[in-house]
Amino acid sequence: MLNIVLFGPPGAGKGTQAAKIIEKYGLVHLSTGDILRAELAAQSKLGLEARKYMDKGELVPDSVVIGMIESKLDQNPEAKGFIFDGFPRTTAQAKALDELLSRKKTTINLMLALEVEKDELVRRLQGRGKISGRTDDQDINIIENRIHVYNRETAPVIDYYNNQGKFRAVQGMGSIEEIFGRLCDAIDRMKN
Ligand code: B4P
């Protein structure tokens, strides 16, 4: 199996690049942001609970997202591999993911971390906010808080994978195709 964590701050291009990677490598896409937004649209109990955090730019509690990932892994027993997009976002989530995968006799092969300057993150998120209707992209205070929460709670996940020798930094500035090329190079180097 090929299991990749696609990592980076809000607006780094995780969702954009994940769509291209799954097409090229035939992996299953697991985006906690997408799953949470689907729950929100369905007005499920989980979605209504998650909204309280997402609307402030805070992280949804670990127990909620870990449970979501576990059920998605169970729903895809034949997968060639997974791309984890926006997960793990805390060290507790990273540890839980390792445990879930080891029960399935597999592991994370690579963590690809997109590096993008803060001004560009804000520009991209505000751009998306104008067309997507996502409320968390439309308010500069929420965007600033998401970046702050990333630096405080999510960036330490880099150390977790670096200690396992799985962390690769990828320049996330430039065109979508240029960045995709860099990600593919890193994946192909790891496979060969
Ligand atoms: P996510 O859905 O993961 O939101 P994101 O980080 O903003 O998305 P992403 O990084 O994929 O967007 P992209 O750059 O592709 O999370 C939303 C919320 O859900 C979180 O704030 C949190 O509350 C909650 N949540 C999710 N997962 C969680 C977890 N594990 N634990 C707890 N809470 C969790 O796209 C941004 C824009 O940039 C797009 O418009 C795109 O077109 C554009 N873009 C991309 N690449 C570009 C490029 N190279 N040049 C120019 N524009 C580009």
The 10s digit of each residue's pLDDT in 25-56 is: 999 999 999 999 999 999 999 999 999 999 99
Name residue 51's beta-bridge partners.
none
The yes-or-no answer on residue 168 being catalytic is: no
pLDDT at 73 over 90: yes
Indicate whether residue 86 lines ligand 1 (CB < 6 A).
yes
Distance 137 CA to ligand 1 centre (A): 9
The total number of structural domains that make up the chain: 1
Query: Per the structure block, which two tokens stand in for 116?
Result: 């993008």
Give the pTM: 0.93
Contacts (Cβ under 8 Å, ≥6 apart) of 60:
32, 36, 49, 50, 53, 54
Q: Per-residue confidence at 191, pLDDT binned at 50, 70, 90?
A: confident
Q: Which domain holds residue 8?
A: 2-191
Treating both helix axes as pointing N-terminal to C-terminal, what angle do 140-149 and 118-132 enclose, rounded to 10 degrees? 130
Report pLDDT digits (tens) over 121-132: 999 999 999 999
Report the relative pairing of strands 4-7 and 110-115 from DSSP bridges: parallel
* Domain at 133, CATH number: 3.40.50.300
Q: Which of 51, 134, 166, 182 is catalytic?
A: 134
Report pLDDT digits (tens) over 79-138: 999 999 999 999 999 999 999 999 999 999 999 999 999 999 999 999 999 999 899 999
